[in-house]
Amino acid sequence: MGNERILEVKNLVVHYLTARGPLPAVNDVSFSIEKGRIVGVVGESGSGKTTLALAILRQLPRLTRIYKGSVMFHGIDLVKLSEKEMNEIRWKKISYVPQAALNALNPTIKIIDHFIETGNAHGINDKKLIVEKAVEIMKMLNLEPERVLYGYPHELSGGMKQRVLIALSMIFEPELLILDEPTTALDLLTQRLILDLIKDLHRRTHMTVMFITHDIATIADIADDVIVMYAGKLMEKGDVFTVFKNPHHPYTKALMSSIPDLTGDINKMRSIPGSLPDLINPPSGCIFHPRCPYAFEKCKREEPPAVEIKPGHVVSCWLYSKQ
C-alpha cells in the first residue's frame, strides 16, 4: 500500500462527565486513514462510534474531556487547535453528516438557501458559485436540482433528505467525509440507493470516507477497511476482505456469527452471551472478557495491547500478543 495517511488518531481517550462518574466512551483508540479509502467503523450501539467522529471534529458536547491523545491531520494535531483554526478545517477539509440528521434541515427555508447559508457561514458569498457546485453534486447523487433546490425539506423523502445532507457536506470538496449511520433510518431500497450513490461518488472523486454503521453487512458492501469497536475500544482493524474472510479478534468473530444475513448457514448463527458492559464500571483487563469464549487468566487482569499482526491488520487481544 504505502499510501498517504490523511488522518492519524493516536491513543485517543474521550470521557463524558456523568453524574455517576467519568464515562470513557472512546478509550485509547489508535488508527490511521489512508487517502482515498472508504473506512467503515462498525460497532453496537454505545460502542463509541459517534463520539469518535465528534472527537475528530472537536464537536463534543460541553461535559466532555479529551483526556489524552492526538488527531493528526496533515501533520497538524487537531486536538491542539484553537476553535477559530478548527473552524477552518470543519466542513472545508473534514465534513460530517451526523446520525439521525434527517430532521436537521431547517423546515422554513428552501433547500437552495441551505446551500447558500452553509457557504456564507464559511466565508463564501458568491451565490452563483455555490449554486453551481450544489447542482454538480446533486446530479452525482441522482437528485434533480431544479425540483429539489427550490423545494422545502418537507417535500423530500427520507432518502432525498439524506442525499441533500451529503451534498451539503460536500460543497467545499472536503478531503475527508464522515457519514454517521447514513442508511440506518431508511427503507431497504433507499438504503441500497444511498450505498450505491456513495460508491459511485467515491469512484468519481476518490475522496476519503469514514462510514459509521452498526450493520456489519453494510460494511462488507461498501468499505475498503474496517474498524471494529466495542465498548469504546478498537478491537480489530484491517482491510475488509481480510477481516471478513478471516476475523481474528474473538469479538469480531462473535459479531459476525451473530448477524442473521441471507446467505450464511442459519445453524451457525448465534448471539453473543451476556450483555454490553457498564462503561462507568467496566470489567477489569480485557473489556470483552466476561463474554469471550477464549478468555484466560491474563485477560481478567491486564488489558491487551493493540498488535499489528500483519501490515495494516491490528488486533487487540492477548491471543495475538507475544508479550
Partner 1 sequence: MLDTPIIEVRDLKVYFPVKKGIFGRTYYVKAVDGVSFEIPEEGIFTLVGESGCGKTTVGRTIVGVVKPTAGKILYKGKDTSKLSKEEYLEYRRNVQIVHQDPYSALNPTKTVFQSLAAPLKRWGIAKSRNELREKVSELLELVGLNPPGEFINKYPHQLSGGQRQRVVIARAISVNPDVIVADEPITMIDVSLRIGILDLLLKLKEEVGTSYLFITHDFGAARYFSAKGGGSIAVMYLGKIVEVAAAEEVIQNPLHPYTKALISSVPVADPELSRKRKPLKLKSLDIPSPLNPPSGCKFHTRCPYSTDICSKVEPELKEVSPGHYVACHLYQG
Phi, psi of 20 (to 5 degrees): -85, -5
Closest CA relative to residue 304, chosen from 235, 227, 254 = 235
How many positions of this chain bind Mg ion (CB under 5 A)? 2
CA distance 54 to 71: 12
For residue 31, what are the β-bridge partners? 9
Does residue number 30 form part of the binding site for partner 1 (CB under 8 A)?
no
- Please give the size of the binding site for ligand SF4, defined by CB under 6 A: 12
State the nearest-atom distance from the C-beta of 321 to partner 1, in Å: 24
- Does residue 47 touch Mg ion according to CB under 5 A? no
Q: Which does 292 bind (CB under 5 to 8 A by kind): ligand SF4, partner 1, Mg ion, none?
A: ligand SF4
The three-state (H, E, C) secondary structure of 14-25, written as one string: EEEEECCEEEEE
Distance of alpha carbon 323 from alpha carbon 318, whole angstroms: 8
Nearest CB to Mg ion, comparing residues 101 and 105: 101
Q: Which residues ranging from 58 to 77 are in contact with ligand ADP (CB under 6 A)?
A: 61
Residue 295 binds which of ligand SF4, ligand ADP, Mg ion, none (CB < 5-8 A, kind-dependent): ligand SF4
CB 174 within 8 A of CB 208: no
Which residues, numbered 264-283, are part of the site for ligand ADP (CB under 6 A)? 279
**Interacting span for ligand ADP (CB under 6 A) from 16-24, 29-37, 128-136, 163-171:** 16-24
User: Which of 7, 12, 39, 50 is the binder for ligand ADP (CB under 6 A)?
Assistant: 50
The contact set with Mg ion (CB under 5 A) reads 50, 99
The contact set with ligand SF4 (CB under 6 A) reads 250, 286, 288-289, 292, 294-295, 299, 304, 317-319
